[in-house]
Structure 1
């Protein structure tokens, strides 16, 4: 059994033809459970959740069109899960919950891309890393992982240590492990699974998300996992899954979680 639950259509169009390029790629790579999880900030319906100039320029979809696309896909017997990737936004739990409950998602991904006004994974903000306190950024980032988990709004946390994307990583290992520990302790007490994402291999950091030490803590605390590619193009669907599977097995995982309309089932890793 293989999953690829984190994928985006934003580089193309919300059309059946474009969606089918992704699902065809998933079928070719023997991915049994495949889902699209478009960024929630693209949709007009999330304007009351996340607001900043970078996001506001990229809000151009309507959820009615998104839902309609999946209905067309299901009518055409295309096997695809409907999801959303929501920017976890502190102080907006009620708004996020209302949005999530308004739609019949198979699962919901919660991710952290913003630490205050700092878009940590955006090329436009890369120079900010030299201006900001690295340890404070990491502490605040993993502090948000804690409150994301405590919200219990999300089925999956996306790219758990995305904060390392540009290779800015604290040298103090004790500090880093403390951040990992607080995050995984909170996740273990929630319903939230962790994805092993191959997207980091295509980023400056050149590593899987999460770090092996962090994933080991997840396994030790019995946090379930899924596999994801975070593909923004069809050719990246299922990319480098051999490395993700090897890491999962190396730390001790033997199974993946799957989702269908919120129902969870665990299967052996394929």
Structure 2
């Protein structure tokens, strides 16, 4: 069994024609469970959850159009899961929960892209890495991983160590492992799965998410996994899954989680 649960239509259109380019690629790659998880900040209905100038320039979708797209796909017997990738926003648990419960998602991804007003993975903000304290940014990032897990709002945490995207990584291994430890402690006490994402291979860091040491802690604490490509273009669906599967098996994983309308089923990987 293979999954690819983290994918985006934002570089194209919310149309069946564009969606099928993704689902056709998933079929070619032998991916049995495929889902679209558009960024929640694009939708007018999330304005009370996350709002800043960068986001507001990119808020142009309505959830009714999104839901209708999936209903149209299902009528055509296109096997695709409906999801959302939500920016976990501290202090907005009630608003996030209300939004999540309003729609019949197959699963929900929670991700961290912002540390205060710092868009950690955005090219427009890259200069901030040299202006900020690296340890402070990492500590605040993993603070959010902990509270994301404790919220128990999400089925999957996206790209768990996205904070390394531009290769700004503390050389103090003890500090790094401390962040990994507390993050996985929180995840182990939640319903949240971890994705092995191949997107990092296409980013400056050139590595899978998460780091092998972090994934090992996930395995040791029995945190379930899924596989994801975080494709923003059809050709990236299922990209480099051989590396993701190899890493999963290297740390000990043999099973992968699947979702359907919130129901979870575990299968053997590959």
Aligned to 2:133: 133
Measure the CA separation in 2 of the matches of 1:171 and 1:65: 46
1:164, distance to aligned residue in structure 2 (A): 0.0
TM-score, scaled relative to structure 1: 1.00
Q: Which residue of 2 aligns with 1:37?
A: 37
Who is 2:17 aligned against? 17
The C-alpha deviation readout for 1:75-108, integer Å capped at 9, x for no partner, is 0000000000000000000000000000000000
**Unmatched tracts of structure 2, length 5 or more:** none
1:177-211 Cα distance to aligned partner (Å, 9 max, x none): 00000000000000000000000000000000000
Question: 1:196-247: CA deviations, max 9, x gaps?
Answer: 0000000000000000000000000000000000000000000000000000
Deviations 1:96-146 (A, max 9, x none): 000000000000000000000000000000000000000000000001000
Give the secondary structure class of the aligned counterpart of 2:227.
Answer: strand
Cα distance between partner residues in 1 of 2:180 and 2:165: 16
CA distance in 1, matches of 2:222, 2:37: 25
Match of 1:260 in 2: 260
Give secondary structure in 1 for the equivalent of 2:265: strand
Task: Quote the Cα distance in structure 2 between the aligned partners of 1:140 and 1:165.
Answer: 16
DSSP 3-state at the match of 2:208: coil
Give distance in 1, aligned partners of 2:162 and 2:136. 15
Q: Kindly indicate whether residue 59 of structure 2 is the aligned counterpart of residue 54 of structure 1.
A: no
Q: Please give the alpha-carbon distance, in whole angstroms, between the structure 1 residues aligned to 2:143 and 2:212.
A: 20
> 2:97 is matched with which residue?
97
Structure 2 CA distance for aligned equivalents of residues 52 and 183 of structure 1: 27
Shift of 1:5: 0.1
Structure 1, gaps ≥5 residues long: none
Q: For the residues of structure 2 that align with 1:56 and 1:114, how far apart are their CA atoms?
A: 14
Match for residue 85 of structure 1? 85
Distance in 2, matches of 1:153 and 1:245, equals: 27
Q: What is aligned with 1:269? A: 269
Structure-2 residue corresponding to 1:8: 8
CA RMSD, 1 decimal = 0.2
1:187 to 2:187 alignment: yes
Q: Distance in 2 between matches of 1:176 and 1:135?
A: 9
